[in-house]
Amino acid sequence: MSEHTAPDGAAPTLPGWRHTYSGKVRDLYVPDSGAADVVLVVASDRVSAYDHVLPTPIPDKGVVLTALSLWWFDQLASIVDNHVVSLDVPAAVAGRAMICRRLTMYPVECVARGYLTGSGLAEYRTEGAVCGVPLPDGLEDGSRLPEPIFTPATKAAVGEHDENVSFDHVAAQIGRESAARLREVTLEVYAFAERLAAERGVLLADTKLEFGTAPDGALVLGDEVLTPDSSRYWPADQWEPGRSQPSFDKQFVRDWLTSPASGWDRASDAPPPPLPEDVVARTRARYVEAYERITGRTFGD
């Protein structure tokens, strides 16, 4: 995997850790000691849209993503183990970093959908199915599915799109038994989280999970989990099938970039422009609201 550095500056230098990789949002470090069993994962405030990392960060975004992931890891502990080892991290990244176990990651994005939208909707409109799973006629953007479905995708390199694939495709890659286990746990996690979020007035439309195996072969949940960056959350009281739903994520960023006000031509090679202050503030507020509504906690406490 090639290194990718975001435009808002290089990853911070951290005592005791060596920077090895920067993705769209996260920076990874390994111990200076040479220990090979852990990695430091730092969630930056970078924001990406339309396969570009934007020049303007969203303040506290990385802290929100980390705090929400940690909360969900705790809620899901009875379903699947996770990769978090410690929060004893350098002061410069406190609140936005986790020391995690190194895993042998499965080469698949494990996606569960309970509602139809996004790439799933586009595929349904042409195929009548999503990832080979047939669906009833007459569904619209935002329709609730008869039951949640497992719709895996390939893991794309930075700047490229993930590609939806069938269960059989995944089984051919990693073996049918492993694929079945990923499907089972993905749907179990989704069902649990969907019920909990609904109790707080939030619909979990879909979510992307990443799994790996520990040295003993145990299945472990890695990366982030059930954040606004890896999931679609909708306000339940504003849900209206047949249109695009308001969401707890970077919707304001995407809307502004595609508006005449941005002056940005997505079809060109030009990088996206800086975000206006009001778009940054509204996006930050949306991330914080998602955290507070789902956890029942006040952000920053």
Answer yes or no: is pLDDT of 159 > 60. no
Answer yes or no: is pLDDT of 68 > 50. yes
Give which of 208, 221, 192 is closest to 84, Cα–Cα: 221
Task: Quick: pLDDT tens for 50-59.
Answer: 889 999 999 9
Task: Quick: pLDDT tens for 105-143.
Answer: 999 999 999 999 999 999 999 999 999 999 999 999 999
The dihedral over CA atoms of 224, 226, 232, 235, expressed in degrees to the nearest 10, equals: -140
Q: For residue 47, which phi and psi values (nearest 5 degrees)?
A: -135, 140
| Per-residue confidence band for 252, with pLDDT thresholds at 50, 70 and 90 | very high
**pLDDT at residue number 34:** 82
In a domain, 269, yes or no: no
Q: What is the DSSP string of 125-151?
A: HHHSEETTEE--TT--TTPEEEEEEE-
Query: Are 241 and 212 contained in the same domain?
Result: yes
**pLDDT at residue number 269:** 83
Share of the chain above pLDDT 90, in %: 86
Q: What is the DSSP string of 141-206?
A: TTPEEEEEEE--EEPPPTTS---B--HHHHHHHH-HHHHHHHHHHHHHHHHHHHHHHHHTTEEEEE
- Look-up: residue for tokens 């975000």? 275
Number of domains in the chain: 2
Which of 52, 86, 101 is the C-terminal boundary of a domain?
Answer: 101
CA dihedral (199, 186, 286, 266) positive or negative: negative
Output the six-digit token pair for 166.
């069938």
Query: Are 37 and 134 contained in the same domain?
Result: no
Interval 174-197 mean pLDDT: 98
Answer yes or no: is pLDDT of 274 > 90. yes
Task: Provide the mean pLDDT of the chain.
Answer: 92
Give the structural domain span for 86: 17-101
Whichever domain contains 162, its CATH number is 3.30.470.20
Interval 25-33 mean pLDDT: 94
**pLDDT at residue number 155:** 76
CA–CA separation, 57 and 48 (whole Å): 9
